[in-house]
C-alpha cells in the first residue's frame, strides 16, 4: 500500500528519521518495500487570485489577467488558458521560476534542466509571470487549462507548501492478516505503537445513529433490510442531497493519486479518500435510482447476471451477496457497484453505503469473477468490525466541507448480528513459553494497549485482553505473543540452541540408497541433471514410462506444452540433450533422479525413477586415439557397475522387450532389466526414427529404472566375505558354434550349470561371426576356471574334467565344438 508521509503526519507526529521509521516498520512486519522522495517539481510558484480578466488587445485567444499574490505582490500576466476567470485561485510562476514541466509542457520532467521563466512581451503586452497548468508544474499530464486551486489556498503562499511538497510516499507490503493496516489510520496506529506516540483520530461529530430511517425531504425514509446477516452483520447508510458532481479539489485528487488511485469525481473521490484513510470501503448510490430508497442486502438467488459499473455483464452465483432495492440488483456487495445506480454528472442525491461484509463471501465472489477492487481487497482481509458509522460520518463531513452536499438525515446503522467482544485469557507464563523470554507485565500491558486492546488484570500473571474490533487476527495467546514480540522487533528474544535429550537419528535407508546410487552414477562419469516435471502430452505418449499408467493432467496448466506431469524422466533428459547440442556440446552423459507421475487405479500417484541419457563419446581416447562411443553396451556397463556396487545376491537378467513396448527404442537394441525376475526398467538405444526427430547424428543410449525396486534390490543381503583361495586356478578355454540368435550369456550359464565339481567359474570372452563359420552361426568362446579347494590340481585331472564338460556342454546346447 502506498502512503504519503504528509497524510500519516495528520494522524501521528513523526519525529524520527525516515530510515529509522522504515526499519522499525519493516522489522515489525510492515515491510517498507520502497520510499519515494517527492521533490518539488517547480520553484517560485505562488498561490494567487485572479482579480480581473480582460481580452488581450492584440490576440483573440489570449487574456490579460490581473493577479493578486497577496504578500508576494500583484502582477499582470498574459494567459491563453480557456478556463481562466475572475475570482479563481490559480498557481502563479513568477519571473525566474523554474518548472519541471517547462513553459509549454515541453519539459523533461526534471527541475534541474528547467530554464528560469523570462520576462516576455507577448503580442506587444508585457507578461509579469505565468499562470500554470498541472502539466507545467509537473504534477500530472493535464494541460487542458490552468490549475484551479480551492478556496482554502491563501494567495501569497508558496504552492509547494500548499501541496505539501516535498513529501515521501511509503510503499508498504501488507501481509494478508493485517487488513487493518490497509489505511492511513492503521499504519499511523502502528507507528504510534512502535514509537510510543499519541494517535490523533479525525474529529467526527458524535451522532447517535438510529437503525430506522426518518422521513426525509425526499418523502420516503431510507430503509436497510438485511436478509443475509451472516454475510452482512452491519450496514450503515447516509442519505445526502444537494450534491453537485464535479472534479475534486487538487489536494484531494493529489492524495488519491499518490496512493495509486484515479480521481473520478468529488463523491466517488471522497468514498475512496475515506477508504484510504480509515480502511472502510464506501459506496455511493444515486438515490434517485434506488426504488423506494430501500437498501436490501441479500444473496443473488435467482438473479443470474448483473452489469457492473465498468459495463461488463457478470454472471452470478446464487450465493453471491448483492445490494438491491425493491426491484433490482444495485451492486455486487463489496466488489463493485452497478451501472444502474452509478453516480453520474446529473446526480443530486446519494445514499452512502458503509458496511461490514463477511471476508470469505467477498473473497469467493471476487475470485470467481476475477474482479479485484480496492474494496474487495479490504473486505477479504477483514475490515474494522465497528468502523462503519464513523466512516460514513467522515465521508459525509468531507462532502459537506467541500460544500457540495449535505446529509438529509442521521446515518442509519443496522446491525442484525452484533459482534460480541473477543476476550482472550492471557497467561504470561504461556506467552513466555512461546517466546522463550519473559516480558514484564507492565510492558505487555503497554504494548497491547498501544495496538488498541483493552486489558483487565485477572490474577497474578494473568489478564483478560479484549481484542480491538479492527484486529480479527487476534484470537489466542500465540497471537498476543506475536504482537508483544513484534513491537520490540523480536529483538528481546535471545538466540539459544535447543537442549534436547540425546535422540539417535537413524538415517533413512532409502535416502542412503539414493545417495549411494547417485554416487555410483557420478563415478561412472555421468552428470546430474534437473528437469521440470511438466511435459507436453505428446511426450507422455511417446515415453510412456515403466508402468504405462495414465498420465496425470494438470487442471490449470501454464500452457498446453506443460499440461501433464511426466511419466518418464527420458523426455526431459532428451530435451536437455537437444538444448546442449544446440549450444556447442558434442557429448552428453547425464542422469536424473526424480519423480514421475501416473494415475493408477484412478488415483494420481508418484514414483521415484533414475534415468540416464548418453550420447557421443563416452570414454574419450587420448589425443589422436579413438574414443568409445555411447551405446547399449556402455550403459549396460554402467548398470552392471550399479548392481555390482550394490553387491546384492539377487539375480539380474537383461531380456528382449516384447513387441509394442518402449517403441521409442531401437527394437534390436533394447532390453528389459529384471532383478530377481521383476521388471525394474529398460535399457536401449533410441529408435532411429526418434533420433531423426531429435536430429541426432550418432546413437543415443538410455536407461530408466524404478528407484524403489532398485533400493529393494540393494537392501538384499550383501554377498558373504570369503578368504582368497589358497590354491591356483587352471584355465581351459572352450569355443562352441551355435545359432546366431542364441543368447551368448546363456552359453556360459548352461556350462556353469553343468556342475563339474572342480569348475569354479565360466566367463564369456569372445563372440565371433565370420566367413570361417557357416551362415547363421556364431562362435562363443568361454574361459572355464578349475580350482581345487584343498589341493593344487594336476594337469591330468583338469583335462579329464574339462573334456567331460566340453562333451556335455556341446550336447546340452546342440553346439559344434569350434576347431
Partner 1 sequence: MDEQIPLVELEGGSVTNHANEWRELLNDQVKKDDFHDQLESLIDDNLWEPSFSDDGYLTISKHSIVPGVTGPTAWSVVIRCDGLRIEADRVPVATDTWEVAEHMFTVARLLKWEQKKVSGSVSFQKATDLEEILFRALQDLRSPSAQQLENVRVRYLGRSGELTQVMRRLGQLPNEERPLVGRRVNEIKNILEKRISDLDGALKHAAMERSLGEARIDVTLPGRHVPRGWLHPVTQSRERMLGIFTAMGFEVIETQDIEDDFHNFGALNFPPDHPAREMQDTFFIPGGLLLRTHTSNGQIRVMERRKPPLAIVCPGNCYRRDELSVRASPMFSQIEGFMVDRTGIITMAHLKGVLTEFLRALFGTATGVRFRSSFFPFTEPSAEVDISCLLCHGAGCRVCKQSGWTEILGAGMIHPNVLRAVGYDPTQYAGFAFGMGVERTSLLKLGVHDLRLFFENDLRFLSQFQSGGAAS
As a three-state string, the secondary structure of 166-225 is CEEEEEEECCCCCHHHCCHHHHHHHHHHHHCCCECCCCCCCCCCCCCCCCECCECCCEEE
Cα 9 to Cα 255: distance, rounded to the nearest angstrom: 13
Residue 354 CB, shortest distance to partner 1, in Å, is 22
Cα 729 to Cα 788: distance, rounded to the nearest angstrom: 8
Which residues ranging from 156 to 185 are in contact with partner 1 (CB under 8 A)? 175-178
Q: Which of 500, 658, 741, 790 binds partner 1 (CB under 8 A)?
A: 500
Q: What Cα–Cα distance (Å) separates residue 309 from each residue in 293, 324, 347?
A: 20, 15, 15
Residue 761 CB, shortest distance to partner 1, in Å, is 28
Q: Which of 100, 209, 428, 526 binds partner 1 (CB under 8 A)?
A: 526
Contact partners, residue 693, CB within 8 Å, separation at least 6: none
Between 34 and 212, CB nearer to partner 1: 34
Residue 617 CB, shortest distance to partner 1, in Å, is 8
Region from 85-93, 113-121, 412-420, 521-529 binding partner 1, contact rule CB under 8 A: 521-529
Region from 281-289, 320-328, 447-455, 504-512 binding partner 1, contact rule CB under 8 A: 504-512
Binding mask 452-491 for partner 1 (x = CB under 8 A): ------------------------x-xx-xx--xx--xx-
Which residues ranging from 291 to 330 are in contact with partner 1 (CB under 8 A)? none
Cα 376 to Cα 398: distance, rounded to the nearest angstrom: 23
Between 39 and 489, CB nearer to partner 1: 489
Q: Which of 141, 326, 406, 511 binds partner 1 (CB under 8 A)?
A: 511
Report residue 245 as a C-alpha cell: 458532481
Residue 156 CB, shortest distance to partner 1, in Å, is 40
Between 464 and 580, CB nearer to partner 1: 580
Residue 187 CB, shortest distance to partner 1, in Å, is 15
Cα 10 to Cα 67: distance, rounded to the nearest angstrom: 32
Using rule CB under 8 A, residue 558 touches partner 1? yes
Residues 580 and 516 sit within 8 Å (Cβ to Cβ): no
Cα 364 to Cα 371: distance, rounded to the nearest angstrom: 10
Region from 64-72, 439-447, 550-558, 716-724 binding partner 1, contact rule CB under 8 A: 550-558
Residue 379 CB, shortest distance to partner 1, in Å, is 10
Cβ burial 325-354 (10 Å sphere, 16+ → b, else e): beeebbbbbbbbbbebbbbeeebebbbbbb
Using rule CB under 8 A, residue 18 touches partner 1? no
Residue 519 CB, shortest distance to partner 1, in Å, is 9
Cα 306 to Cα 283: distance, rounded to the nearest angstrom: 17
Using rule CB under 8 A, residue 545 touches partner 1? no
Cα 525 to Cα 522: distance, rounded to the nearest angstrom: 5
Using rule CB under 8 A, residue 601 touches partner 1? no
Using rule CB under 8 A, residue 757 touches partner 1? no
Cα 533 to Cα 200: distance, rounded to the nearest angstrom: 55
Between 312 and 433, CB nearer to partner 1: 433
Report the candidate in 177, 246, 259, 324 with the shortest Cα–Cα distance to residue 8: 259
Angle between helices 509-523 and 632-646 (to 10 degrees): 140
- Across-strand partners of 77? 65
Between 155 and 598, CB nearer to partner 1: 598
Binding mask 432-451 for partner 1 (x = CB under 8 A): xxxxxx--------------
**Farthest CA pair distance, the chain:** 139
How many Cα neighbours within 13 Å face the side chain of 612?
A: 33
Between 129 and 616, CB nearer to partner 1: 616
Residues 549 and 599 sit within 8 Å (Cβ to Cβ): yes
Using rule CB under 8 A, residue 602 touches partner 1? yes
Between 477 and 672, CB nearer to partner 1: 477
Residues 305 and 288 sit within 8 Å (Cβ to Cβ): no
Residues 434 and 454 sit within 8 Å (Cβ to Cβ): no
Which residues ranging from 777 to 806 are in contact with partner 1 (CB under 8 A)? none
Between 336 and 363, CB nearer to partner 1: 363
Report residue 319 as a C-alpha cell: 450465493
Between 249 and 359, CB nearer to partner 1: 359
Using rule CB under 8 A, residue 529 touches partner 1? yes
Binding mask 565-594 for partner 1 (x = CB under 8 A): x----------x--xx--xxx--xxxx--x
Using rule CB under 8 A, residue 720 touches partner 1? no
Between 534 and 786, CB nearer to partner 1: 534
Between 142 and 479, CB nearer to partner 1: 479
Phi, then psi, of 496 in degrees rounded to 5: -125, 125
Which residues ranging from 31 to 60 are in contact with partner 1 (CB under 8 A)? 31
Residues 629 and 618 sit within 8 Å (Cβ to Cβ): yes
Residue 171 CB, shortest distance to partner 1, in Å, is 12
Q: Which of 3, 5, 29, 805 binds partner 1 (CB under 8 A)?
A: 29
Q: What is the DSSP letter of 267?
A: H
Between 118 and 556, CB nearer to partner 1: 556
Residue 530 CB, shortest distance to partner 1, in Å, is 5
Contact partners, residue 86, CB within 8 Å, separation at least 6: 50, 51, 52, 53
Report the candidate in 45, 100, 98, 89 with the shortest Cα–Cα distance to residue 65: 89
Between 627 and 692, CB nearer to partner 1: 627
CB-neighbour burial class of residue 516 (10 A; exposed 0-12, middle 13-18, buried 19+): middle
Q: Which of 305, 327, 443, 528 binds partner 1 (CB under 8 A)?
A: 528
**Which H/E stretch holds residue 65?**
strand 63-68
Using rule CB under 8 A, residue 509 touches partner 1? no
Phi, then psi, of 669 in degrees rounded to 5: -135, 55
Phi, then psi, of 40 in degrees rounded to 5: -70, 145
Using rule CB under 8 A, residue 497 touches partner 1? yes
Using rule CB under 8 A, residue 425 touches partner 1? no
Between 269 and 380, CB nearer to partner 1: 380
Instruction: Work out whether strand 42-55 and strand 89-99 pair parallel, antiparallel, or are unpaired.
Output: antiparallel
Which residues ranging from 341 to 380 are in contact with partner 1 (CB under 8 A)? 359-360, 363-364, 367, 380
As a three-state string, the secondary structure of 12-60 is ECCCCCHHHHHHHHHHCCCEEEEEEEECCCEEEEEEEEEEEEEECCCCC
Q: Which of 406, 530, 718, 726 binds partner 1 (CB under 8 A)?
A: 530
Residue 483 CB, shortest distance to partner 1, in Å, is 8
Using rule CB under 8 A, residue 595 touches partner 1? yes
Between 499 and 721, CB nearer to partner 1: 499
Between 56 and 589, CB nearer to partner 1: 589
Amino acid at each position: 500500500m502506498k502512503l504519503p508521509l504528509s497524510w500519516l503526519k495528520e494522524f501521528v507526529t513523526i519525529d524520527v528519521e525516515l530510515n529509522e521509521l522504515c526499519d522499525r516498520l519493516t522489522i515489525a512486519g510492515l515491510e517498507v518495500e520502497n520510499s519515494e522522495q517527492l521533490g518539488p517539481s517547480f520553484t517560485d510558484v505562488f498561490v494567487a487570485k485572479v482579480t480581473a480578466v480582460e481580452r488581450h488587445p492584440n490576440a483573440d485567444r489570449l487574456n490579460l489577467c490581473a493577479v493578486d499574490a497577496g504578500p508576494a505582490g500583484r502582477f499582470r500576466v498574459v494567459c491563453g488558458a480557456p478556463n481562466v476567470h475572475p475570482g479563481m485561485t490559480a498557481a502563479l510562476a513568477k519571473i525566474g521560476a523554474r518548472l519541471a514541466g517547462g513553459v509549454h509542457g515541453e519539459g523533461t520532467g526534471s527541475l534541474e534542466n528547467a530554464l528560469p521563466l523570462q520576462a516576455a512581451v507577448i503580442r506587444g503586452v508585457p507578461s509579469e509571470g505565468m499562470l500554470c497548468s498541472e502539466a507545467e508544474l509537473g504534477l500530472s499530464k493535464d494541460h487542458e487549462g490552468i490549475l484551479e486551486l480551492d478556496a482554502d489556498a491563501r494567495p501569497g503562499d508558496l504552492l509547494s507548501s500548499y501541496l505539501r511538497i516535498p513529501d515521501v510516499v511509503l510503499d508498504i507490503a501488507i501481509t494478508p492478516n493485517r487488513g487493518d493496516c490497509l489505511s492511513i489510520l492503521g499504519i499511523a496506529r502502528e507507528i504510534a505503537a512502535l514509537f510510543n506516540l499519541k494517535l490523533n483520530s479525525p474529529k467526527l461529530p458524535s451522532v447517535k445513529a438510529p437503525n430506522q430511517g426518518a422521513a426525509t425531504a425526499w418523502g420516503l425514509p431510507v430503509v436497510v433490510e438485511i436478509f443475509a446477516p451472516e454475510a452482512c452483520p452491519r450496514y450503515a447508510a447516509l442519505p445526502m442531497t444537494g450534491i453537485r458532481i464535479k472534479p475534486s479539489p487538487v489536494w484531494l485528487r493529489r492524495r488519491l493519486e499518490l496512493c495509486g488511485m484515479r480521481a473520478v469525481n468529488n463523491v466517488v473521490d471522497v468514498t475512496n479518500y475515506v477508504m484510504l484513510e480509515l480502511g472502510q470501503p464506501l459506496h455511493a448510490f444515486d438515490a434517485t435510482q434506488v426504488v423506494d430508497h430501500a437498501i436490501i442486502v441479500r444473496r443473488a438467488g435467482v438473479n443470474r447476471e448483473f452489469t457492473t459499473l465498468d459495463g461488463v455483464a457478470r454472471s452470478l452465483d446464487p450465493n453471491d451477496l448483492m445490494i438491491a432495492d425493491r426491484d433490482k440488483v444495485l451492486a455486487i456487495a463489496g466488489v463493485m457497484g452497478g451501472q444502474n445506480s452509478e453516480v453520474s454528472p446529473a446526480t443530486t442525491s446519494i445514499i452512502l453505503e458503509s458496511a461490514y461484509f463477511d471476508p470469505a463471501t467477498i473473497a469467493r465472489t471476487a475470485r470467481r469473477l476475477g474482479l479485484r477492487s480496492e474494496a474487495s481487497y479490504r473486505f477479504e482481509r477483514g475490515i474494522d468490525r465497528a468502523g462503519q458509522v464513523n466512516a460514513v460520518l467522515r465521508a459525509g463531513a468531507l462532502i459537506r466541507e467541500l460544500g457540495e452536499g449535505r446529509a438529509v438525515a442521521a446515518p442509519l446503522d443496522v446491525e442484525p448480528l452484533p459482534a460480541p467482544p473477543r476476550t482472550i485469557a492471557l497467561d504470561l507464563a504461556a506467552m513466555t513459553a512461546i517466546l522463550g523470554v519473559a516480558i514484564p507485565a507492565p510492558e505487555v500491558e503497554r504494548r497491547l494497549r498501544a495496538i488498541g486492546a483493552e486489558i483487565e488484570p485477572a490474577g497474578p500473571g494473568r489478564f483478560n485482553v479484549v481484542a480491538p474490533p479492527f484486529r480479527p487476527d487476534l484470537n489466542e495467546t500465540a497471537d498476543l505473543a506475536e504482537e508483544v514480540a513484534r513491537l520490540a522487533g523480536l529483538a528481546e528474544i535471545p538466540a539459544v540452541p535447543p537442549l534436547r535429550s540425546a535422540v539417535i537419528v537413524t538415517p533413512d535407508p532409502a535416502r542412503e540408497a539414493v545417495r549411494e546410487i547417485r554416487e555410483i552414477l557420478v563415478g561412472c562419469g555421468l552428470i546430474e541433471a534437473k528437469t521440470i516435471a511438466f511435459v507436453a502430452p505428446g511426450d507422455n505418449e511417446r515415453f510412456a514410462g515403466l508402468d504405462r499408467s495414465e498420465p496425470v493432467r494438470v487442471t490449470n496448466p501454464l500452457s498446453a506444452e506443460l499440461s501433464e506431469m511426466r511419466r518418464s524422466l527420458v523426455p526431459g533428459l532428451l530435451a536437455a540433450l537437444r538444448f546442449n547440442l544446440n549450444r556447442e556440446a558434442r557429448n552428453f552423459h547425464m542422469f536424473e533422479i526424480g519423480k514421475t507421475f501416473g494415475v493408477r487405479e484412478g488415483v494420481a500417484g508418484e514414483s521415484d525413477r533414475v534415468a540416464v541419457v548418453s550420447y557421443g563419446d563416452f570414454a574419450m581416447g587420448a589425443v589422436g586415439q579413438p574414443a568409445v562411443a555411447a551405446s547399449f553396451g556402455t550403459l549396460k556397463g554402467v548398470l552392471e557397475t550399479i548392481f555390482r556396487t550394490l553387491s546384492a545376491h539377487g539375480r539380474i537378467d537383461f531380456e528382449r522387450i516384447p513387441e509394442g513396448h518402449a517403441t521409442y527404442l531401437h527394437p534390436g537394441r533394447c532390453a528389459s532389466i529384471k532383478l530377481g525376475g521383476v521388471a525394474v526398467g529398460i535399457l536401449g538405444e533410441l529408435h532411429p526414427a526418434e533420433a531423426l526427430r531429435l536430429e541426432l547424428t550418432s546413437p543415443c543410449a538410455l536407461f530408466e529404472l524404478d528407484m524403489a525396486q532398485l533400493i529393494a534390490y540393494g537392501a538384499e543381503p550383501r554377498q558373504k566375505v570369503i578368504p582368497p583361495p589358497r590354491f591356483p586356478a587352471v584355465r581351459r578355454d572352450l569355443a562352441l558354434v551355435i545359432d546366431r540368435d542364441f543368447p551368448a550369456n546363456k552359453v556360459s550359464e548352461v556350462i556353469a550349470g553343468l556342475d563339474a565339481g572342480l569348475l569354479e567359474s565360466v566367463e564369456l570372452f569372445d563372440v565371433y561371426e565370420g566367413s570361417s563359420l557357416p551362415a547363421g552361426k556364431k562362435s562363443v568362446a568361454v574361459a572355464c576356471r578349475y580350482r581345487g579347494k584343498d589341493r593344487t590340481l594336476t594337469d591330468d585331472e583338469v583335462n579329464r574334467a574339462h573334456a567331460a564338460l566340453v562333451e556335455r556342454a556341446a550336447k546340452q546346447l546342440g553346439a559344434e565344438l569350434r576347431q
